[in-house]
């Protein structure tokens, strides 16, 4: 990729890598949560990234007012890995876009929750408007040779909007959530369906986490617009567009070396002291109905019911991180989880022991790593998940190669993590059995599985992921140019 060195990389995502908070007139920066942000930030902080591009930009919507941004940039000496270009969007429009079409229509549908989908023409209009605002911003910034990398379902229409204004632009798109089967996708209103697929086909390269998602997408393109494909290349009116799989990796080193950090050591000691003599099962998720938290609790309850010999000998530490709080389905989920935790604890607690230790809050990096390291079992059972980076973080954190991962077969990560105990997350008998197997697994078997899992994580970490995507984007562009000049 020698020719990249003189070029600029422009990342575009709905969320910026940080939030700006203001307290008593003082503005401070808070890193955003979430897989996309942590993956791209890790990559950008690596030396490879600084040598690879002339400049790196990150364009995203601002969830802070313009005045706060101005105050911050005037005073701050913080050097970020990216130049940041925030987009300020009218709050009412943003809410209809984010809480409406993005997270009450696309999110439930793409995660196979069709009965949760809201159909509202106004939220689609807001979605179009926000995508257009992003396109306007990019039109002000783009220069010949720039590489544009657009991320996720909030910006499906953007590739085509940019293409219309810049026919020669180099545009990559990556989807961080599942791409569903056509039978699910077709439930969208007809004009929305067509606009979404046309929007995506504005890109040169479209990346997904798994081969299944690629196949679903290719079939959908044929069914919605009639464009055929060969070897994952779509021919859209003589423009060749590639769709391929790029399973998102993590910054393995960041997690594997965290065991040396003093604050992690301290927290881990505290956890081990608190739960002395007990096995620890751990899970952490954003509060989301897709994460399968209530089913997971049912599996744990069934385990306690079937195996009384384990009562008082095991504790389930379950952390749920607040997310999308305005949307009613999220709030309802929180109530359901809390009722269920209360019920299980009410039924099984003794004076010395509480089976579920539930926490509804954000975790610091040190707390997260300490919990990854101190737990005997990582119980990660989403009902659907594009990838699930928690599973990868858990494995990367096990520097001593102990511990067992129980993973839902409906997470994208399952296709790369066959040494985990794979479960159907809605089957409480299967989850209960997996918990038992994990707690009884010999240290030698734990190690054998962890060695394989860790090796695969290292072979395709976040830097490989970025390099692989950008190299293929470059290749695809070269092939298009060759085809046009033929
Ligand atoms: O998994 C898709 C995703 O958009 C991630 O990129 C992000 O980490 C997560 O969902 C949370 O999204 P939001 O930006 O809505 O908090």
pLDDT, tens digit (0-9, with 9 covering 90-100), for 132-144: 999 999 999 999 9
**∠ CA 112-114-116 to the nearest 5 degrees?**
110
Work out which ligand 1 atom sits closest to the CA atom of 386: 1
Section 395-407 average pLDDT = 97
Section 331-338 average pLDDT = 94
- Out of 44-53, 227-236, 385-394, 441-450, pick the least confident: 44-53
Nearest Cα to Cα of residue 222 among 207, 208, 233: 233
pLDDT value at residue 382: 98
Cβ atoms < 10 Å from Cβ of 87: 18
- pLDDT interval class at 391 (50, 70, 90): very high
User: What's the Rg (C-alpha) of the chain?
Assistant: 23
Cβ atoms < 10 Å from Cβ of 149: 22
Asked whether residue 486 carries a pLDDT value surpassing 80, the answer given is: no
The rounded mean pLDDT for the chain is 94
Q: Which residues line ligand 1 (CB under 6 A)?
A: 15, 34-36, 152, 176-177, 323-324, 386
Whether the complex's predicted ipTM is more than 0.90 is answered with: yes
Chain-centre distance for alpha carbon 97 = 19
pLDDT value at residue 36: 67
pLDDT, tens digit (0-9, with 9 covering 90-100), for 100-153: 999 999 999 999 999 999 999 999 999 999 999 999 999 999 999 999 999 999
Nearest CA, atom 10, ligand 1? 34
Predicted TM-score (pTM) above 0.90: yes
Asked whether residue 450 carries a pLDDT value surpassing 60, the answer given is: yes
Nearest Cα to Cα of residue 301 among 379, 359, 391: 379
- pLDDT interval class at 48 (50, 70, 90): low
Asked whether residue 2 carries a pLDDT value surpassing 50, the answer given is: no
Nearest Cα to Cα of residue 205 among 247, 140, 147, 251: 147
Which of 35, 248, 287, 362 has most ligand 1 atoms within 8 Å of CB, for mutation?
35
CA of 209 to the centre of ligand 1 (A): 15
Which of 16, 36, 175, 213 has most ligand 1 atoms within 8 Å of CB, for mutation?
36
CA of 343 to the centre of ligand 1 (A): 30
Are 182 and 212 spatial neighbours (Cβ–Cβ below 8 Å)? no
- pLDDT interval class at 47 (50, 70, 90): low
């Amino acid at each position: 990729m020698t020719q990249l060195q003189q070029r600029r990389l422009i990342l575009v995502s709905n969320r910026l890598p940080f939030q700006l908070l203001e307290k008593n007139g003082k503005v401070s920066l808070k890193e955003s949560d979430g897989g996309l942000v942590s993956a791209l930030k890790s990559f950008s902080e690596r030396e490879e990234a600084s040598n690879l591009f002339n400049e790196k930009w990150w364009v995203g919507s601002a969830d802070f007012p313009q005045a706060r941004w101005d105050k911050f940039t005037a005073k701050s000496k913080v050097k970020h890995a990216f130049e940041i270009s925030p987009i300020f969007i009218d709050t009412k429009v943003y809410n209809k876009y984010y809480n409406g079409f993005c997270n009450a229509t696309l999110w439930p549908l793409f995660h196979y929750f069709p009965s949760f989908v809201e159909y509202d023409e106004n939220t689609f209009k807001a979605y179009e408007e926000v995508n257009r605002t992003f396109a306007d911003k990019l039109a002000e910034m783009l220069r010949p040779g720039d590489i544009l990398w657009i991320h996720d379902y909030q910006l499906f229409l953007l590739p085509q909007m940019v293409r219309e204004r810049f026919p020669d632009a180099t545009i990559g798109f990556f989807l961080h959530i599942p791409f569903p089967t056509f039978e699910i996708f077709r439930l969208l209103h007809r004009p929305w369906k067509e606009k979404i697929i046309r929007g995506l086909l504005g890109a040169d390269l479209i990346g997904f986490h798994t081969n299944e998602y690629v196949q679903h997408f290719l079939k959908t393109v044929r069914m919605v617009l009639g464009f055929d494909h060969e070897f994952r290349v779509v021919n859209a009116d003589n423009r060749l567009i590639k769709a391929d799989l790029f399973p998102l990796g993590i910054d393995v080193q960041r997690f594997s070396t965290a065991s040396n950090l003093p604050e992690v050591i301290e927290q881990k000691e505290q956890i081990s002291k608190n739960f002395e003599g007990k096995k620890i099962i751990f899970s952490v998720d954003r509060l989301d109905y897709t994460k399968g938290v209530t089913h997971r609790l049912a599996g744990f309850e069934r385990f306690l019911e079937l195996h009384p010999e384990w009562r008082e000998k095991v504790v389930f530490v379950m952390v749920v991180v607040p997310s999308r709080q305005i949307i009613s389905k999220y709030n309802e989920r929180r109530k359901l989880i809390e009722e269920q935790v209360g019920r299980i604890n009410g039924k099984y607690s003794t004076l010395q022991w509480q089976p579920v230790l539930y926490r509804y809050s954000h975790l610091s990096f040190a707390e997260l790593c300490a919990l990854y390291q101190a737990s005997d079992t990582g119980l990660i059972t989403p009902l659907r998940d594009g990838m699930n980076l928690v599973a990868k973080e858990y494995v990367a954190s096990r520097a001593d190669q102990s511990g067992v991962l129980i993973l839902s077969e409906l997470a994208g990560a399952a296709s790369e993590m066959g040494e985990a105990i794979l479960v159907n997350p809605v089957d409480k008998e299967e989850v209960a059995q997996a918990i038992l197997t994990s707690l009884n697994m010999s240290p030698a078997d734990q190690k054998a599985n962890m060695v394989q899992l860790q090796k695969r994580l290292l072979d395709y970490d976040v830097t490989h992921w970025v390099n692989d995507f950008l190299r293929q984007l470059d290749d695809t562009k070269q092939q298009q140019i060759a085809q046009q000049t033929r």
